[in-house]
């Protein structure tokens, strides 16, 4: 049975006939009552389900990072959900059941803040990942106090290491402790976020690095 929450003109909660009243991120919504499926899933549906499963497994450990680095472009959804939506559409290659993440196409940040110039990643010591870039403070909205966020992903272990505040833009370099990936290869990413969190860069893929 449905319940009127604020009188006859207010939102309702529960099931009334063929519709269901609920809330989503604090917004009252009405949706159709789910219908029972007849028959199996189509090839297109299986493809989409597999994409969702693959990307969810890949991005879920970055929930805290993505909620900040996609927040400025997320409308009525979380930053993580916006990142998930973008990467499902743009960073998966192949057809079910041979799907794979297209690592160079992955975005871990989204926005119009200028990224640093000539970013790169390398490993000078076992288990340590070194990022370098050219400070371009003063270009557009870029300023010296913007914070670098960096990340490394090891496919074999399906694990991430990241930092949301690795160094200031004007530092020109930072290091990420990747001891647990020592002797393995990692996909690497870098981006910048303003000190107040209001501006973010599109992240950049900085290559596959052997640690």
Residue 8 lies in a domain: no
75-92 pLDDT per residue, tens: 999 999 999 999 999 999
Q: What is the pLDDT of residue 44?
A: 73
pLDDT surpasses 50 at 196:
yes
Q: What is the pLDDT of residue 40?
A: 73
Q: Which structural domain, as residue segments, surrounds residue 160?
A: 43-210
- Taking CA atoms, 89 is separated from 12, 106, 208, in Å, by 34, 10, 22
Residue 165 lies in a domain: yes
The domain total for the chain is 1
Residue 80 lies in a domain: yes
200/22: higher pLDDT: 200
Q: What is the pLDDT of residue 39?
A: 62
Kind and range of the H or E run holding 14: strand 12-16
With beta carbons less than 8 A apart as the criterion, state whether 122 and 130 touch: yes
Residue 37 lies in a domain: no
Residue 90 lies in a domain: yes
Output the 3-class SS for 54-104. HHHHHHHHHHHHHHHHCHHHCCCCCHHHHHHHHHHHHCEECCCCCCEECHH
* CATH code, 199: 2.60.40.10
pLDDT surpasses 60 at 2:
no
21-34 pLDDT per residue, tens: 666 656 666 666 66
Residue 101 lies in a domain: yes
Mean pLDDT over each residue of the chain, to the nearest integer = 88
Find the range with the poorest average confidence among 45-49, 50-54, 90-94, 137-141. Answer: 45-49
Residue 192 lies in a domain: yes
Residue 122 lies in a domain: yes
Q: How far apart are CA 174 and CA 121, in angstroms?
A: 10
């Amino acid at each position: 049975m449905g319940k009127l929450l604020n009188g006859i003109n207010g939102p309702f909660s529960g099931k009334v006939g063929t519709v269901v009243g609920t809330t989503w991120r604090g917004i009252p919504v009405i949706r159709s009552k789910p219908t029972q499926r007849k028959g199996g899933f189509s090839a297109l549906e299986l493809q989409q389900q597999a994409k969702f499963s693959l990307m969810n497994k890949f991005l879920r450990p970055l929930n805290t990072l993505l909620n900040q680095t996609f927040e400025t472009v997320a409308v009525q959804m979380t930053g993580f959900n916006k990142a998930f939506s973008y990467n499902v559409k743009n960073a998966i290659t192949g057809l079910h059941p041979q799907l794979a993440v297209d690592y160079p196409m992955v975005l871990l940040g989204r926005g119009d803040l200028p990224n640093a110039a000539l970013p790169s990643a390398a490993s000078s010591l076992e288990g340590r990942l070194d990022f370098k870039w050219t400070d371009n403070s003063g270009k557009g909205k870029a300023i010296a106090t913007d914070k670098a966020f960096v990340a490394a992903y090891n496919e074999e272990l399906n694990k991430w290491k990241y930092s949301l505040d690795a160094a200031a833009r004007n530092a020109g370099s930072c290091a990420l402790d990747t001891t647990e990936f020592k002797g393995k290869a990692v996909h690497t990413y870098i981006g910048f976020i303003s000190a107040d969190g209001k501006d973010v860069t599109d992240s950049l893929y900085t290559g596959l690095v052997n640690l």
